Amino acid sequence: MNKTEQPVELLLPDYVFSRLITAFQKIKPKEGMGVLYGKYITDEGQRKVKAEKIWVPPSRYLQSTSTGVALTEMGKKYHS
């Protein structure tokens, strides 16, 4: 992580968090993809993901699954 990159902290509803983790477990990183480095903590019933970078899965996956759509939206908002 260089000096200009700050960790991103996402506060997610449980259903999004579980889909996110499931998606990351299924997707193998490929060249050109960002990678989620993070730790997952519970905060008053909400799940929090602290990440330096967020995975950008292949567009085919993003277009074909609800998790992919959620990741796309998160990516637009949080991926620099």
Query: In the numeric block, which tokens belong to residue 41?
Result: 């903590």
The domain spans of the chain are 8-78
How would DSSP label each residue in the chain? --TT---EEEEE-HHHHHHHHHHHHHPPP-TT-----EEEEEETTEEEEEESS-----HHHHHH-HHHHHHHHHHHHH--
User: What's residue 54's pLDDT?
Assistant: 52
Q: Quick check: pTM over 0.85?
A: no
Residues of the chain with confidence (pLDDT) below 50: 1-3, 5, 31-39, 52, 56, 58, 61, 79-80
User: What's residue 2's pLDDT?
Assistant: 46
| Cα separation, 39 vs 43, whole angstroms | 13
| Cα separation, 49 vs 69, whole angstroms | 18
User: What's residue 34's pLDDT?
Assistant: 46
Query: In the numeric block, which tokens belong to residue 12?
Result: 């997610």
User: What's residue 19's pLDDT?
Assistant: 72
